[in-house]
Amino acid sequence: MAEDILDEYGKLYCLGDIVHNDEEVERLTKKGLVTISHDQLPELRGERVLIRAHGEPPETYKMALENDIELIDASCPVVLKLQNRVKEAYDDEGKESPVYIYGKHGHAEVKALMGQTKGDAVVFQDIAELDLDHMPSRITLFSQTTKDTRNLYKIRDTMVSKGIQVDFNDTICRQVSNRDLQLREFVKNFDKIIFVSGTKSSNGKVLYGVCKEFNPNSWFVSDPQEIQKEWFSENDTVGVCGATSTPLWLMEEVKGLIEGL
C-alpha cells in the first residue's frame, strides 16, 4: 500500500516504523516515506498518513478527522479483530471481569489495545509481574498477536491453579504460531542457521528463540554485514530464515553474501 501511494504521489507519512526492520524502512524512506511519531501527528494538516499493521487506538482516528488527515489504514485484519474483541469484552464485562493483556509494555499493538479499554486494561509481559494471590477472582485474558503460544497457555493454567476464573482468548496470530512449528523442523535440517530480523521485532525475538532452541548453532542478524566468516566451516549446510516482517529481498541478500564467503 505504501509503495503504491509513493509511486503515485512521491510522499507519504507513516505513524511509527512501517515494519520493525531498519533496512526495509530505509528502502522506503528513499522512495519518499516519512516516519513520524505520535507527538508529531497533531502538527499535520491535510496530509496522507499510513497506519501500520499494529493498529491504532481510537484517539488517532479522532485526531485525523479533526485535522483533515487522510488515513491509509493498513492495520492487520487479525489485529483489528482483536481490538474489537477487547472492546466488546471491556464494554460488556469490564467491571465484573477486568481485561488483562499478555503483551510487551509500550508496544504499538498493545497501546492500540489499551485504547479500546480507555487505558483500564492490565498489561503484563511476564506473569511474575502479577500478584496472583490478590488478583480479581475473575478476569478476561487476551494476548498480543505475536507472543509465544506455549507461554500464553502456561499463564492461563497458572492463573486457574490459583483459583482465578479465566475467560480465555487465544489471540495469537497463526501466521506466527504456524511459523514457529515450521521453524522447528526447518532448523534441524542444517548445520548452521542465520535468522534475519529487525532488532525491534517482537515476533523476531520469539522466532529466533525457537531457532536457538532446536538448533544451538543459530545466529541473529539484522544487517548482512554482521555475518562473520568464522561462524561457518567447510561443507556446512546453512539455513536462512526470518521474522514475518523480514523482506524476502533481505534474506536473499544474506544468502548471496554467505555463498560468496
| Amino acid making up residue 182 | Q
Query: 3-state DSSP call for residue 245?
Result: coil
For the chain, percent of residues with pLDDT exceeding 70: 100
- DSSP secondary structure string for all residues of 147-216: S-HHHHHHHHHHHHHTT-EEEE-----HHHHHHHHHHHHHHTT-SEEEEE--TT-HHHHHHHHHHHHH-S
One of 3.20.20.60, 3.40.1010.20, 3.50.50.60, 3.10.20.740 is the CATH number of 175-259, namely 3.40.1010.20
Task: Give, as one character, the DSSP assignment of residue 221.
Answer: E
> How do residues 11-52 score in pLDDT, each as one tens digit?
999 999 999 888 999 999 999 999 999 999 999 999 999 999
> How do residues 231-249 score in pLDDT, each as one tens digit?
999 999 999 999 988 999 9
Architecture of the domain whose range is 78-172: 3-Layer(aba) Sandwich (3.40)
* Residue-level length of the chain: 261
pTM of the model: 0.82
Residue extent(s) of CATH 3.40.50.11270 domains in the chain: 2-75
- The whole-number pLDDT of residue 99 equals 97
> How do residues 217-226 score in pLDDT, each as one tens digit?
999 999 999 9
- The whole-number pLDDT of residue 203 equals 82
Catalytically active residues are 109
Residue extent(s) of CATH 3.40.1010.20 domains in the chain: 78-172, 175-259
Q: Provide the CATH number for the domain formed by 2-75 in this structure.
A: 3.40.50.11270
Q: Does 85 score more than 80 pLDDT?
A: yes
Going along 2-114, which residue ranges are E strands? 12-15, 33-36, 48-51, 70-73, 99-102
